Structure 1
Amino acid sequence: MSNSLRTRIRARMAACLASIAAAGILVTGVPAFQSEADAAPGTIRCDKKWLGKEYGSPPAGSGIQGKNQPFSQRPQNEWDDYWFENPSHAFDGLKAPNRAQSDLAGDTDADAQKWKKKFEATQNPKYRVLEIYARYNVQAKKSTGIKTWGTWLDQRLIGYEANRLKGDGFEAKVVRDFKLVGPDWICQKDVPVFDKDGKPVIDPKTGKQAVRKYDAYNAKTKEFVEFKSNGKHIAKQFRYDNHVLRNQQYSDHKLRLITGDSTSSNTVKKYATLNKQLEAERGGKQNQATIREHRSTGAPRWRPNQYTRYNPIMNPDPRRVGSIGPINDAAFRSGSTPGTARQIQHQYRGANGNGVFGRGGPGGIDFSTLELNYVGSPVKGKGLDYSFKADYAKDPDNNPGWGGKARLQLASDAMFTWLALTPDTFWVNLNPDQPDKIMDKTFGKTDAGRVLLEADLEMKHDYAKDMDPREGVGKQYWDAMQAANIPCGHQIRLWIVPKTAKVRVEKDGIYILDAPLKVNAEPQKVEYPDPNGSDCKLTEAQIRTSQSLVDQYVIPDVEKKVNTGPAYADLRRVYSSRVAAEYIRDQDKDRATDFRPIINSNNVARWPLSAEHRSWTPKKTWDAYMKSYTEGDYSYPCNVGGQNKTCVMGGVDFSKAPKRNITRVRFDLEHPRLDKNTKTSVKTETAYRDTDTALIGGNGSGEPAGGDDDPIPTPTPTPTPTDGPSTPSPSDTPSPQPSTPGGDKPTPPAKDPDGDLADTGSSTPVGLIAGIAAALAAAGAALTWWMRRRKATTG
């Protein structure tokens, strides 16, 4: 933190905290960090260290909460978050030094200190870059040093700094929340460690007497206080705690542990054992060692510069620095395959940085379940906030989450695709009679179009598999057909339509609460010759009966797969993005946003097919469909006209998607604290109400998330360094592309043939999400053989 910034923060804190009343004291804001050089350990007042000034007597209600209970927890409705500065994060896009840069930086601690002092004096990031290079060179010379630049930068520099500063931020927050002010509250108290017999305890590493440094101390109340933002004690410190508290000098002192996360069961167990031991040794005195779980989520922040990693996620303007936020960090750290994810997880576990790398480390998020669940109201010049939901990985060490970058990119690219193309292009079509009408040409150049077409084919496979007359729902269907005396099945058309999606539109954005999909089916005729050579004809009444049995036995299972099956995860992912895109369209109608040049531009050049699907074409999926239709991916042995054959079938179609804005009362009842948790997720990963669902988001403008208590000042442009490392070259940093063509006024969208959204009484209009059409014929009549065969066998 710069001296000028520290001065401004202290001045502001002094103004905010100047009003002291007998009933209490206002203790808010982000701390002004005091250098430990200002005072020796054991004399640094907590209020001066973290609040920027000294106070008199503590106000009413000050002190450690829950200290009269062995273990107590902060009420869930009081959970909140706090900022901590993580300035090294601004250099996460810094490339490895070349030979000249490395030589200039040097490879000693003295070199690193030299560049650090220059940076502090000038605030020119080129000197910070040289300091970072020098530190890397220092550790790279060691036999145990990390040689891979990216690993060292993320784990050893950014991660370690975040761990340290997160602890500082949590300590400052507890001082504020518990009002640990006045001359009696000292932060950083050094206590020489003696055992219960008065003998010095030796630190095996130094060979000298051990010293226990407590985060806070109150001589008047005789309390040692330890802050742990991650909810875990440190074994070495706890061993010293046992000695200190059992030594005669401190036999009347208590130990208070304050945790900022879910307290580990091992920590709870250790403290419970110590508390009982002290109670027995101190004549029945209770609550001598207690834990207060003060749940608060630490949110890192930094000011981007030319060395910050460019990220196009949810970023409407490619001229900006790029999107930033915890979801981008998590996706960046995740492996692209299960194998690489396990390797990365092992590396990060060794880095002791899981507290800042998210719950469970970089493999803690199950990215296969990632879906967009919130976008903020877009503001011109500021992009928008956004948040995703995902399950936490059940076993992150052995089966860590992977593929975060690809799935996050898909959700983002899909949203921009829905914005750039007009709704009349959102169709795909797999029909043996129409090889020339597979999908819109431009839509076919995007991953969103690919996902829809491949989902159609996937549903055909699932429908065909479910119709197997030998087992499961297929057997139930054909048994019912036989009971109804219907000799064969009928040709059928299947298509997916979203059920009414539940959303909540607030002033700050839209919450996508539930976007379920529904599978519809109806009889359909296809001119393409029946691959099974069946000539079975049904009456209209028989077709209606057969269709009702399909709806009863088969369709529910297919629909379940579409809504929950891993094969359709991408489909659900791009559909959630479609809901968000329609909300952005609605917002842009009222006022120009950063998305206006994109909306209806018909330009998807910024969001092409991903690298792994670059060779895909709609024709390839259509060919796969026809192979399945004519040869059968899922086939059943049958006898047609006395000849042994293999019978096949298939089918799919995708249609419209309305959404409904639920009331605020229902929103609060069914999704308590979702709005608060979502706002936290924009700044840092958080679990929704302590569940196994992660909320994790970011900001699409590339600007740091704001905070009313201590906004980061807008920086003045930093001159390009003239000596030392240069700004990353175009080959190192993604070059921003020109803005998508388009004027200030978007082209009016084509009228949606499905009509308007049902009026729910909301004062905020929620537009209809245009249908995403697809058609697939299914040769249901191919199963004629089965009923004939069964009838002949049983008759």
Structure 2
Amino acid sequence: MIHPISPHRRSLAGKRLAVALACAGALTLTGLPGLHLAEAASVPKPGVPCEELYDLSGTPVSSPSWGQNGSRPKSDWDEYDYTNQRNAMDGVTLPDDQAEQQKILREAGTDPKKWKEGDPRKVFASYSRYLEGQNGANEYGSFKGWLDDSYIDMAGRNPRGKAFERKAVKDLGLVGPDWICQEPVEYTDAKTGEKRYRIYDAVNRRTKELVEIKSGPNYAGDQGPKDRAVLSDPKYKDYRLRGVFGQSQTDETKTFYRNLAAQFGNGPDGKPRVTTYEHNSTPRATFKPGKYSASSPYLAPKGSTARGGATDIVNGSAPTPETMRKQVEAVRRNDPSGMRVRGPGGVDFSTLQLSYVGKPVKGKGVDYSFSADKAPNEDAGWGGKEKAQLISDAYFTWLALTPDKFWVNLNPDQPDKIMDKTFGKTDAGRVLLQADLEMKHDYARDMDPRKGLGKQYWDAMKAAGLSCGTVVRNWIVPEPAKVRVHDTGIYILDAPLKVNSVASDVKTPSPNGPCDLTAAQRKTSQRLVNQIVIPDVEHKVNTAPQYADLRRVYRSRVAAEYVRQQDAKAPSDYRAVINSNDVHRWPVRGKNASWTPRKTWDEYVKSFTKGDYSYPCEMAGQQKICVMGGVDFSKSPKRNISNVEFKAQHPHLQRSTQTSVQAMTDDADNDHELLLGGNTDGKLPSGGGQSPTPTPTPTGKPTGQPSAPASHTPGPGHSTPPGGQAPSTPPGKQDGGGGLAATGTQVLTLTGIAAALLAAGAALVWWRRRRTTGN
């Protein structure tokens, strides 16, 4: 039956909405979820025509447009705003000292109503009240966890939910006299025979449709039994239920609706009675920042205060899996109404990388965007700060240091020349040196003749009549980075790495015995290495977790080089940083704070002199025990794809990136990826005088580098002598796009992650400036 609309009912609609929104804004939430008040009543108030409730009169009446395959066309994805002024308090902190904490909390008391919004004492009083109700235990794990996921998030749930409901109603055309919002549906409890009610966000009794709208990706667990009861009631045997979500559904939600659909099957028209629809829209909290608003240090020049889509998400990421698990469990327990949107727990921060940097304009800041894989069901989300900090630190390191500083040297004879002292104080330098060592181990593992690829290699060598392998040099080089340089900035679409391997000459006899090969035999041995072993090492470098930091650091270099080039054209807020050789603001941090280049050098020498493993082998017809012992970023070419190619392959990326600057959003071009960014704001302290002129990049000979560095990786049965002469660096892959380093010399020059590391006489491998070969 269709509800008649009385004049009195119409007159109350606007008042109800105003009161509801006012109450939502005035609530002091201290950990308790919001409730539909009508559901708590024995006889709920009747619903209101949707167009009246949301002031949509005049909107053309149309049938709902549910898109294709249950989702909104990606070309229509957009954003909506809701108000949550409590976001301005996300920078409130408590001191670590317990005595100071208790003093602050005592002074604030346990009555939040005593204090005005925007006063930190209101936050502290709310926290004290929460702890009082929890017998002193904080289920969120930390004050920061409670602040983000209880005090701030819960205050925004009702405004966000209402804002999305209005948007969904408007976009889908749920208007006209037949569509009633917040409508109670009476059903009979199958066990008790009592009459109960389930309030749906929109109901059309003429077309027999029930609609539940959620701004996030989750269904409400406490509503599930009611939905089953309604659909089981004979009165609604011809009705269909549709769940509408503002974000891609979690696996848990998909499973719930899939099971519900299986239980109730098809209606009389042959169509499923239970379906879902994803009306992808990104929520943006609007508020006026204040003195207690948090900022992010990422990519922000000194003196600026960055905020944006990444601020809340990254800052809300817990440091460990255990602390994040507790935080997510607390959020779930306090969200029976399913009003959460995706938070830090839904981000796989181990995949976080820089994907966009805007054109730097002095005084206006720079937009930026990170990308990261989605994590199902909010079960991940830890380590975000560490990864974002590394990306930012590497970005500034590439800007601050002149190119002659980018060398490292794993030479056992030169412990005093491992790497430039300034570069050695940065996380970027640490990542390069550690990646060098890691590749040695990975190559050596692959060369084990007892199993896997190593066995394939040695079987092929025997088939070719070769009992020992040639000395090889392996090193990592960047493949051309695929980018789109736009008027507004640079999109880093892909930044793959390649492992090169070539045969090399050494003079020192191998500790495993002599192995004299003809030129043809050396060529055969090298061909087999390239065919069998190198592809796996290259795959690891591009995909394995142990090289994720190396990939992060390389993308930061791509972005930094773009900024260098733009700053050379017109001064930016980064002018004072570029070529300053001052990196004290971007040191080795966190768990790696005690790291020194010498520690990696010591680890290398241990493997160099003692080996990591040994294995039985045959050398020149004799049974022996063999021991196993390069990364060259000398160029970083880029390929700037055309606008036509960019639009064809990434039709929605520009819009998604713009959205991500303000709020975390789905990447419309990649179903498995999220985008989250910010703006560096650019409000630097004012100062007089003229803008400085660009600082030229030094092109002279680097200072302090090791003498006679080697760059070989020995093949099985051979070694490179300490201080042995290095062959000329093989020609790097040339690309029509040119190198990124347009500063007079190469910006990131690393050599030799030699791959087979491991034992007395194993190869010397290091990172150094690439020699000029005329290629």
Instruction: State if a TM-score over 0.5 links the two structures.
Output: yes
Residue in structure 2 matching 1:572, options 529, 547, 551: 551
User: Hey, what's the Cα distance between the residues in 1 that align with 2:127 and 2:334?
Assistant: 16
Q: 1:441 to 1:364 in 2, by over 3 A?
A: same
CA offsets, 1:469-509, max 9 Å, x none? 33333333334444444553333322110111111122232
Corresponding position: 1:773 with 2:750: yes
Q: CA deviation at 1:256?
A: 6.0
CA contact under 8 A between 2:466 and 2:521: conserved in structure 1? Answer: yes
- The equivalent of 1:115 in structure 2 is 115
Secondary structure of 1:305 counterpart:
coil
Residue in structure 1 matching 2:353, options 361, 367, 371: 371
- The equivalent of 1:13 in structure 2 is none
Q: Counterparts of 1:307-456 in structure 2 under 5 Å?
A: 307-317=292-302, 319-326=303-310, 328-352=311-335, 359=342, 362-393=344-375, 397=379, 400-432=380-412, 434-456=414-436
- The equivalent of 1:76 in structure 2 is 74
User: Hey, what's the Cα distance between the residues in 1 that align with 2:661 and 2:536?
Assistant: 36
Q: 1:151 to 1:778 in 2, by over 3 A?
A: closer
Q: What is the identity, as a one-letter code, of the residue corresponding to 1:332?
A: N
Q: 1:255 to 1:403 in 2, by over 3 A?
A: closer
User: Hey, what's the Cα distance between the residues in 2 that align with 1:513 and 1:663?
Assistant: 13
Secondary structure of 1:522 counterpart:
strand
Q: 1:354 to 1:489 in 2, by over 3 A?
A: farther
Q: Counterparts of 1:226-625 in structure 2 under 5 Å?
A: 226-230=212-216, 232-234=218-220, 237=223, 257-262=243-248, 264-266=253-255, 268-269=257-258, 272=261, 292-317=277-302, 319-326=303-310, 328-352=311-335, 359=342, 362-393=344-375, 397=379, 400-432=380-412, 434-486=414-466, 488-525=468-505, 532=511, 534-625=513-604
Q: CA deviation at 1:563?
A: 1.3
Residue in structure 1 matching 2:161, options 143, 164, 167: 167
Name whichever of 629-638 and 239-248 sits farther off: 239-248
CA contact under 8 A between 1:426 and 1:773: conserved in structure 2? Answer: yes
- The equivalent of 2:773 in structure 1 is none
User: Hey, what's the Cα distance between the residues in 2 that align with 1:781 and 1:235?
Assistant: 55
CA contact under 8 A between 1:84 and 1:300: conserved in structure 2? Answer: yes
Q: 1:232 to 1:497 in 2, by over 3 A?
A: closer
CA offsets, 1:587-618, max 9 Å, x none? 22222222222111111111000132222222
Q: What is the identity, as a one-letter code, of the residue corresponding to 1:775?
A: G
Secondary structure of 1:439 counterpart:
coil
User: Hey, what's the Cα distance between the residues in 2 that align with 1:475 and 1:657?
Assistant: 34
Taking every aligned residue pair, what percent have the same amino acid on both sides?
47
CA contact under 8 A between 1:653 and 1:776: conserved in structure 2? Answer: yes
Q: CA deviation at 1:530?
A: 5.7
What is the RMSD of the two structures over their aligned residues, measured on CA atoms? 4.6
Q: 1:625 to 1:82 in 2, by over 3 A?
A: same
User: Hey, what's the Cα distance between the residues in 1 that align with 2:20 and 2:377?
Assistant: 41
- The equivalent of 1:106 in structure 2 is 109
CA contact under 8 A between 2:246 and 2:278: conserved in structure 1? Answer: yes
Q: CA deviation at 1:759?
A: 4.7
Q: 1:221 to 1:771 in 2, by over 3 A?
A: same
- The equivalent of 2:718 in structure 1 is none
- The equivalent of 1:65 in structure 2 is 65
Q: Counterparts of 1:118-129 in structure 2 under 5 Å?
A: 119=117, 125-126=118-119, 129=120
User: Hey, what's the Cα distance between the residues in 1 that align with 2:625 and 2:298?
Assistant: 48
Q: What is the identity, as a one-letter code, of the residue corresponding to 2:656?
A: N
User: Hey, what's the Cα distance between the residues in 2 that align with 1:299 and 1:449?
Assistant: 37
User: Hey, what's the Cα distance between the residues in 2 that align with 1:657 and 1:240?
Assistant: 59
Q: 1:89 to 1:535 in 2, by over 3 A?
A: same
- The equivalent of 2:707 in structure 1 is none
User: Hey, what's the Cα distance between the residues in 2 that align with 1:503 and 1:101?
Assistant: 51
TM-score by length of 2: 0.75
Q: 1:76 to 1:162 in 2, by over 3 A?
A: same
Q: CA deviation at 1:151?
A: 3.1
CA contact under 8 A between 1:231 and 1:261: conserved in structure 2? Answer: yes
Q: What is the identity, as a one-letter code, of the residue corresponding to 1:107?
A: T
Query: Where does the alignment leave 5 or more consecutive residues of structure 2 unmatched?
Result: 1-15, 24-37, 39-44, 95-99, 702-730, 763-775
Residue in structure 1 matching 2:91, options 82, 87, 93: 93
Q: What is the identity, as a one-letter code, of the residue corresponding to 2:747?
A: A
Corresponding position: 1:151 with 2:145: yes
CA contact under 8 A between 2:370 and 2:675: conserved in structure 1? Answer: yes
Q: CA deviation at 1:695?
A: 1.8
How many residues in Structure 1 have an aligned counterpart in Structure 2?
A: 682
Residue in structure 2 matching 1:693, options 672, 681, 685: 672
Q: CA deviation at 1:149?
A: 2.8
Q: 1:562 to 1:50 in 2, by over 3 A?
A: same
User: Hey, what's the Cα distance between the residues in 2 that align with 1:472 and 1:196?
Assistant: 63
User: Hey, what's the Cα distance between the residues in 1 that align with 2:351 and 2:643?
Assistant: 27
Secondary structure of 2:527 counterpart:
helix
- The equivalent of 2:637 in structure 1 is 658
Q: What is the identity, as a one-letter code, of the residue corresponding to 2:110?
A: D
Q: 1:88 to 1:63 in 2, by over 3 A?
A: farther
CA contact under 8 A between 1:656 and 1:773: conserved in structure 2? Answer: no
Q: What is the identity, as a one-letter code, of the residue corresponding to 1:392?
A: K
CA offsets, 1:532-591, max 9 Å, x none? 263444455544443333323322222122112222111111111111111212222222
CA contact under 8 A between 1:304 and 1:321: conserved in structure 2? Answer: no
Q: 1:685 to 1:354 in 2, by over 3 A?
A: farther
User: Hey, what's the Cα distance between the residues in 2 that align with 1:244 and 1:642?
Assistant: 82
Residue in structure 1 matching 2:132, options 134, 141, 145: 141
CA contact under 8 A between 1:65 and 1:292: conserved in structure 2? Answer: no
Query: Where does the alignment leave 5 or more consecutive residues of structure 1 unmatched?
Result: 1-31, 120-124, 203-209, 704-713, 715-735, 786-795
Q: CA deviation at 1:288?
A: 8.2
User: Hey, what's the Cα distance between the residues in 2 that align with 1:756 and 1:521?
Assistant: 13
CA offsets, 1:27-58, max 9 Å, x none? xxxxx98343899976877556645xx74xx4
Q: 1:633 to 1:76 in 2, by over 3 A?
A: same
Q: CA deviation at 1:385?
A: 2.3
User: Hey, what's the Cα distance between the residues in 1 that align with 2:176 and 2:346?
Assistant: 42
Q: 1:702 to 1:159 in 2, by over 3 A?
A: farther
CA contact under 8 A between 2:439 and 2:753: conserved in structure 1? Answer: no
Corresponding position: 1:36 with 2:20: yes
CA contact under 8 A between 2:91 and 2:294: conserved in structure 1? Answer: yes
Q: CA deviation at 1:658?
A: 0.3
CA offsets, 1:255-291, max 9 Å, x none? 66533234533554577579769x56xxx79898875
User: Hey, what's the Cα distance between the residues in 1 that align with 2:676 and 2:204?
Assistant: 40
User: Hey, what's the Cα distance between the residues in 2 that align with 1:777 and 1:241?
Assistant: 62
CA contact under 8 A between 1:491 and 1:777: conserved in structure 2? Answer: no
Corresponding position: 1:748 with 2:696: yes
TM-score by length of 1: 0.73
Q: CA deviation at 1:352?
A: 2.6
Q: CA deviation at 1:420?
A: 0.9
CA contact under 8 A between 1:430 and 1:777: conserved in structure 2? Answer: no
Q: 1:412 to 1:227 in 2, by over 3 A?
A: same
Q: What is the identity, as a one-letter code, of the residue corresponding to 1:258?
A: V
User: Hey, what's the Cα distance between the residues in 1 that align with 2:685 and 2:604?
Assistant: 37
Secondary structure of 2:396 counterpart:
helix
Residue in structure 1 matching 2:121, options 130, 138, 142: 130
CA contact under 8 A between 2:418 and 2:598: conserved in structure 1? Answer: yes
Secondary structure of 2:474 counterpart:
strand
Q: CA deviation at 1:663?
A: 1.8
User: Hey, what's the Cα distance between the residues in 1 that align with 2:229 and 2:61?
Assistant: 31
Q: CA deviation at 1:167?
A: 0.7
User: Hey, what's the Cα distance between the residues in 2 that align with 1:45 and 1:685?
Assistant: 33
